[in-house]
Amino acid sequence: MSLSRWDVHVSAGLFVVVILTLPFIFVVLSNPVPDTMVNIAGFFLPALILGSLALIVGSVLPDIDGKGNIRWIIGPVLGAMAMLPPLLSIILSEGVASGLSFLFADGALIFLSMTIAGYLLLLLPLKHRGFFHRPIVGITFGLIWCVYLLTCASLTSGLSVLGGTMGSIGYLWHLALDGSLF
């Protein structure tokens, strides 16, 4: 089965995010919530947010080698994806004012750099369902995201692995939908 529309891949990615985060949401929303449960929720929430972002982006990323609109959208998406982990880390550790300060200084540079890098991918002579439709690229995407989270999001190594794994799951999910996984 081959699905060519990237919106189908995003929908499938969102479905997987819901399935993976639903148990967490049920635990947090159950009453009464002891203080330790709130602390546990706060501990896992940044990793789940950043992992969900990677899963959704990963669910469409293999199509950057195609001719569709996703090639033109992916630059700013990669920019926002690169900016969010340090921004979230600063907001959680130093507050919203420091986060806004970061957003309009270093955050803007990170966004701009990664947006340009995303657009530079358009210059590569790529064949659709070629290099980017390989499982090893999906695993590499998850590993890169894991290391990035570890260094830029102030997450523990375990939570960074969770976020990276979610990114790989999204990427591999796309390949499975395209029939390119095996």
Q: Residue 36 and residue 44: Cα distance in Å, rounded?
A: 13
Backbone angles phi, psi at 42, to 5 degrees: -65, -30
How does pLDDT run across 79-108, given as a tens digit for each residue? 999 999 999 899 988 999 999 999 999 999
Question: Is the Cβ–Cβ distance between 50 and 88 less than 8 Å?
Answer: yes
- Residue of 34, 33, 63 whose CA lies nearest to 177: 63
Q: Is the pLDDT of residue 146 over 90?
A: yes
Q: Which two tokens stand for residue 109?
A: 């540079």
Range of 52-66, 119-133, 165-179 with top mean pLDDT: 165-179
* pTM higher than the cut 0.85: no
Domain boundaries, the chain: 6-178
